Amino acid sequence: MRLEIGNIFIKDVEFGPETKVKEGVLYVNKQELMSFIGGDERLKSINIDIAKPGEETRILPVKDVIEPRVKVEGSGGIFPGFISKVDMVGQGRTNVLKGAAVVTTGKIVGFQEGIIDMSGEGAKYTPFSKTFNIVISCEPQDGVKQHEHEEAVRMVGFKAAAFLGMAGKDVKPDEVKVFETLPLGEQVKKYPALPKVVYIYMLQSQGLLHDTYVYGVDAKKILPTFVYPTEVFDGAIVSGNCVSACDKNPTYVHQNHPIIEDLYSKDGKDYNFLGCIITNENVYLADKERSSNYTAKLAEFIGADAAIVSEEGFGNPDADLVMNCNKLEAKGIKTVLVTDEYAGRDGSSQSLADSTSKGDAVVTAGNANELVNLPPMKKVIGYPEVANVIAGGFSGALHDDGSITAELQVITGSTSEVGFDNLSAKGF
């Protein structure tokens, strides 16, 4: 498949009488957007704010972050299985409002939600302090169950991103990036002298409120599957989970997957990038065994010489990560793992809940238990008291002056296990 991504660089977002992009500014007709995303009886109210880089604004609890996009050529549409029909995506042309993002918030859905600070110390740790955020606050009706609340907020976010993306449909992109993966047999023959690399893409799927969707299907219901990498860029995979903010993959991260983009950048130079195997993270041992067995079988079947494996979440999924590593290595497939650490606030505890001697090539995204002090903000969109209960927070995390002391775990995207973050390592 060959996909063109047309990036339209957004330099500002403003409310206006018409939803459009003009000279790099996204203007949003607030009432039209409200009308487009409204109507879900499970929601009591919806409100829309704008949060810009550098402002003294805090958003919490953050549910999801989504990039506005629109399909302009080729099959399928935006968010297949949710907004569009379940047609294959990953080919043609998709225009992107690069620099804009939809952020969903409101009453907390599950305790594993996060914080985005648009300035100050917290802004250093989240990539979404640099985006122009259209923040949608959704308040549920009394008595709505958590999984229904999550679904309602998720759909509002997707609808908003689709609505805003339409503003870029007839706009000439500032740049066009091209990504292409041939059918497997042709891809293998294209670079016969180079090592063949596959990306093992672990999707969070540990149960209720720990969901990721593939073409609208809950990933816990799938067997590991081989997909074109371009399908990922084109919205085939979306977030529906409430796992810890630091290392969950918001929908925006799936749409802009850095591991896949990096693999494409050296395809045909250092290696032959065959594509992606998506697999799930399960709760029970038998399911973990089934998925890891199937993942290793697929990697062997397509003839991979090496694999990169990334995790989403921590604790229980560490076992899935290790199983994938052991079984790939047992088949002679050289494996690199990408994860983060929960090593205690002083960094001296065991980093992962499981380990293996075969995991001798590991990239860490940082220690999510490290404490950070977040200064007070002039504006808070959402509920500041949530800082006392979300994962990484604790009773007393929120101080009287509005500042917060908590673990990095509370910051959206701070230790991204696919590398969509700002942390790095420095040698001494």
Q: What's the chain look like in SS3?
A: CEEEEEEEECCEEEECCCCEEECCEEEECHHHHHHHHCCCCCEEEEEEEEECCCCCEEEEEECEEECCEEEEECCCCCCECCCECCCCCCCEEEEEEECEEEEEEECCCCCCCEEEECCCHHHHCCHHHCCEEEEEEEEECCCCCHHHHHHHHHHHHHHHHHHHHHHHCCCCCCEEEEEECCCHHHHHHHCCCCCEEEEEEEECCCECCEEEEECCEEHHHCCCEEECHHHHHCCCEEEEECCCCCCCCCHHHHHCCHHHHHHHHCECCCEEEEEEEEEECCCCHHHHHHHHHHHHHHHHHCCCCEEEEECCCCCHHHHHHHHHHHHHHHCCCEEEEEEEECCCCCCCCCCCCCCCCCCCCEEEEEECCCEEEECCCCEEEECHHHHHCCECECCCCECCCCCEEEEHHHECCCCCCCCCCCCCCCCC
Q: Looking up tokens 């500002």, which residue turns up?
A: 12
Question: HSE on the CB side for 238, CA within 13 Å?
Answer: 25
Question: Average pLDDT of 11-36?
Answer: 98
Q: Model-level pTM greater than 0.85?
A: yes
Please report the pLDDT score of residue 321 as a whole number.
97
Please report the pLDDT score of residue 155 as a whole number.
97
Answer whether residue 417 is part of any domain. Answer: no
Cβ burial of 170 (10 Å; 0-12, 13-18, 19+) is: exposed
Q: What percentage of the chain carries pLDDT values higher than 90?
A: 92
pLDDT in tens, 117-132: 999 999 999 999 999 9
Answer whether residue 211 is part of any domain. Answer: yes
Residue 425 has pLDDT above 70, yes or no: no
pLDDT in tens, 205-264: 988 889 999 999 999 999 999 999 999 999 999 999 888 999 999 999 999 999 999 999
What the block records as the tokens of 86 is 């379940």
* Contact yes or no for 203/310 (Cβ under 8 A): no
Answer whether residue 419 is part of any domain. Answer: no
Residue 428 has pLDDT above 60, yes or no: no
Please report the pLDDT score of residue 243 as a whole number.
83
Answer whether residue 416 is part of any domain. Answer: no
Alpha carbon 406 to chain centroid, angstroms? 22
Please report the pLDDT score of residue 209 as a whole number.
86
Task: Tell me the average pLDDT of the chain.
Answer: 95
Peptide bond into 61 cis (omega under 30): yes
pLDDT in tens, 278-291: 999 999 999 999 99
Longest dimension (CA), the chain: 64
Answer whether residue 373 is part of any domain. Answer: yes
Residues recorded for the chain: 428
Residue 17 has pLDDT above 90, yes or no: yes
Q: Which domain holds residue 110?
A: 2-410
**Which of 315, 245, 218 shows the shortest CA–CA distance to 104?**
245
What the block records as the tokens of 363 is 């990239």
Answer whether residue 337 is part of any domain. Answer: yes
pLDDT band at 189 (very low <50, low <70, confident <90, very high): very high
What CA–CA distance (Å, rounded) separates 313 from 236? 20
Answer whether residue 425 is part of any domain. Answer: no
Question: What residues act catalytically?
Answer: 242
Answer whether residue 182 is part of any domain. Answer: yes
What CA–CA distance (Å, rounded) separates 382 from 73? 38
Q: How many distinct structural domains can be found in the chain? A: 1
pLDDT band at 110 (very low <50, low <70, confident <90, very high): confident
pLDDT in tens, 375-401: 999 999 999 999 999 999 999 999 999
Strand duo 379-382 + 371-374: pairing: unpaired
What CA–CA distance (Å, rounded) separates 33 from 377? 27
Q: What percentage of the chain carries pLDDT values higher than 70?
A: 99
pLDDT in tens, 347-373: 889 888 899 999 999 999 999 999 999
**Which of 91, 65, 93, 78 shows the shortest CA–CA distance to 235?**
78
pLDDT band at 4 (very low <50, low <70, confident <90, very high): very high
